[in-house]
Amino acid sequence: MSQKIQGVLRVSQDDPPQFSIKDNSRTGIAIAEGTQNVLQSINILFLTEPGERIMREDYGCGLNDYLFANISDELMTDIQTHIEERVLRYEPRAEITSIQVNQRTNLPSTLHVQVTYALRGSDINQQIEGVLEVNEGRVQVSL
């Protein structure tokens, strides 16, 4: 039962909140499905640091660990291996087909990361790209 107290609507347990899920992004919440869901999941994985999630403390890619490191071939190989291990562990719907980590020639302190993956059980390929600004201390992922 609801009651109005000093101009504020108070909702009791008898009146649970209700949400309207619609396809229109201006009027409701849109829920990702299918390939978009996997893409968002990988994006979240890349931007999450281990220890951020309380019940899954080891979840996350930990790309911030590579910030402020000296850029070398070994560093780029470590990043490739780390991304592949994390996607394999936390996103079983995606199968990595290639990971490329390249240093930008015009921005020597920036690494461009491109991950191409296939959805398991289908012939759908997708790609996600990101930038590690190593000396600036920033990770950006673009879908």
The pLDDT tens digits of the residues spanning 59-79 come to 999 999 998 889 999 999 999
The pTM of this model reads: 0.73
At 31 the pLDDT is 61
At 138 the pLDDT is 76
**Which amino acid type is present at position 35?**
T
The three-state secondary structure class of 74 is helix
| Burial call 60-78: b when 16+ CB within 10 Å, e when fewer | bbbbbebeeeebeeebbee
Helices (H), 3-93: 34-47, 73-90
Residue range 94-114: average pLDDT?
Answer: 92
Residue 21 reports pLDDT greater than 80: no
Q: For the chain, give every domain's residue range.
A: 28-142
Give which of 67, 41, 64 is closest to 51, Cα–Cα: 64
At 17 the pLDDT is 57
At 105 the pLDDT is 82
According to CATH, the topology of domain 28-142 is: Nuclear Transport Factor 2; Chain: A, (3.10.450)
Residue 121 reports pLDDT greater than 60: yes
pLDDT digits (tens, 9 = 90+) for 44-64: 999 999 999 999 999 999 999
Percent of the chain beyond pLDDT 70?
76
At 135 the pLDDT is 78
